[in-house]
Amino acid sequence: MTYCVCDCNREYLYLMQEMLERHACDKSRVCHPFLSADALIRYLRTYGADVIVIDAILGDKSGVEVVKEIHTIIPGAQIIFTSGDITLCSSVYAVEHVCFLPKPVNETTFAWALGVAEERARVQKMKTLSFKNREGIFKIPFEDILFLENNKRKLTVHTRSGAMETYASIESVSSDLDARFIHCHKSFIVNMDFVQSMQRKNFLLETGQTIPISQSRFANSRMVFLTHLGSV
């Protein structure tokens, strides 16, 4: 579990860092403090984070707008907002977050919020595929993945909204996936939730795309397909 805190007020930044480190479930991990949104974003693009405690106002930047950018880098990041301005508590609902904590932050309430964020992050990790490329670090929900395609050293993750590439082997990610995914060809893993029909040499997806089935994997692919349909 990795943690970040961002607040333009240096004194409050380190106060929140100390509070987080007292209550974090993973005390072996360091909480990284940032005085500016730009510094936080630069860090996240390279290293990522699971839980982020962030002020709703960061200088001339809105914390909500910063979190929108964070979620393009790390869709599954868990956000805890803090602010000395209680009137901002409704505006933060423009983005997904755990809760809004008014300053001065009550430590008991913060410990509860951190526990919720950590649990959500654990669940998110269990149901997402994480990878990194030049554009950032991504956590893609399993339910959005259509199929994965390997071409030499490049892995393409095809989703409902497009495709993303990284340098990895298909074997290196297969163990991170759950039972809905089947390795039907040496270069393809398909999400059975999107399979419309099984043909002799391929799966037909709801999107109209076809995924090849190798001869050596045909029998297992057929069994998994029928089981997924509830026919076995």
Q: Which residue has the tokens 């669940």?
A: 123
pLDDT above 90 for 74: no
Q: Per-residue pLDDT tens for 118-146?
A: 998 887 766 788 888 888 888 888 888 99
Q: Per-residue pLDDT tens for 100-123?
A: 999 999 999 999 999 999 998 887
Contacts 24+ apart (CB under 8 A), 107-114: 107/19, 107/23, 110/19, 110/20, 110/23, 110/80, 111/23, 113/80, 114/20, 114/23, 114/24, 114/51, 114/80
Per-residue pLDDT band for 179 (boundaries 50, 70, 90) equals confident
Q: Per-residue pLDDT tens for 187-222?
A: 999 999 899 999 889 999 989 999 999 999 999 999
Q: What is the pTM of this model?
A: 0.61
Per-residue pLDDT band for 231 (boundaries 50, 70, 90) equals very low
Domains along the chain with CATH numbers: 3-126 (3.40.50.2300), 141-229 (2.40.50.1020)
pLDDT above 90 for 42: yes
